[in-house]
Amino acid sequence: MEDLRLVGLSEDGSRLVLEGADGQEFAVCLDERLHAALRGDRARLGQLQIAMESQLRPREIQARIRAGQSSEEVALAAGVSVDRIRRFETPIMLERTHMAETARSIGVRRVTDATTTPLGTLVAARLEERGVDPLDLEWDSWRREDACWQVVLHYTAGERERVASWVFDPARRTIEPADEEARWLTEEERAVPERVRPLHPRLTPVPAPEPDEETAQRDTGPVVAPAAPSEPAPPAAKPEPKSGRRRASVPSWDEILFGGPVKPEGS
């Protein structure tokens, strides 16, 4: 790289005039980047460079990282290298780590607990009971559009990557589960009963248990087989109804033919 010699300012005072070894002159614009370079402010110089090369300003880049995007994703959107984006990543990542640690210190009280327990302690204890090393837990957070923070836990259990999320409100210092994994880690385990008991015994009668064979014989005596049915007896003649009035006699066929009762011969 050839060294240049400072000649002075241009006539309009907007540029520095430099001269090479061969007498060729060069001009450098007196802009904010040059001032930052002269001060040794590399961070500011990098911000200005990115602002010129991409469509995203440094403030927008940091806002994207704060919202959960990675440096690779922001670099792709900005159209610059990842190394340029990472110059602004460090303070934002420290902020995200700080918010995750603050959320882990928030006390959580379950139904059966008398006192509150920090979220991080409660989660680590429950996972340790299931063989998950607390040192393997990875916590992160990012800022949501509603000014709350999404707190995320990554861990491995049962040979599968798992993710649990909570919503942390720094202003109110409250934290709530955002998915089923987080509810399982911080809430009670509720067992579903086999059947629901009635509110009052009278509402649902309970059937008496069926007696066994020994109890039935003791209570009712020996069981006797029914006798075979006998032949039906002939029906008895119905007695004539008793009445104070005598029933009128019906004339026989002989009386109708001969005009009177038939007398026996020799009478």
For the chain, give every domain's residue range.
Answer: 5-92, 100-186
What token pair was written down for 197? 């008991």
- Contacts (Cβ under 8 Å, ≥6 apart) of 119: 103, 104, 105, 106, 107, 108, 166, 175, 186
In order, the DSSP letters of 226-264 are: PPPPPPPPPPPPPPPPP-SSPPPPPP-HHHHHHSSPPPP
- Contacts (Cβ under 8 Å, ≥6 apart) of 141: 96, 97, 99, 100, 103, 149, 150, 151, 152, 168
- The rounded distance, in Å, linking the Cα atoms of 226 and 204 is 38
- The rounded distance, in Å, linking the Cα atoms of 141 and 100 is 5
Do 137 and 124 form a contact (C-beta atoms < 8 A)? yes
Per-residue model confidence as pLDDT tens digits over 2-31? 777 777 777 776 677 877 778 777 777 766
Whole-number percent of the chain with pLDDT over 70: 60
- The rounded distance, in Å, linking the Cα atoms of 228 and 2 is 132
Do 75 and 60 form a contact (C-beta atoms < 8 A)? no
Comparison of pLDDT for 163 and 199, the residue scoring more: 163
User: In Å, what is the CA distance from 250 to each residue of 150, 247, 259?
Assistant: 116, 9, 14
Q: Give the pTM.
A: 0.52
Question: Which region among 124-128, 138-142, 193-197, 241-245 has the lowest average model confidence (pLDDT)?
Answer: 193-197
- pLDDT at position 97, please? 96
3-state secondary structure at position 17 = strand
* Average pLDDT over the chain, rounded to an integer: 75
Tell me the pLDDT band of 204, cut-offs 50, 70 and 90. very low
3-state secondary structure at position 99 = helix
Torsion of CA 116, 120, 126, 130, to 10 degrees: -170
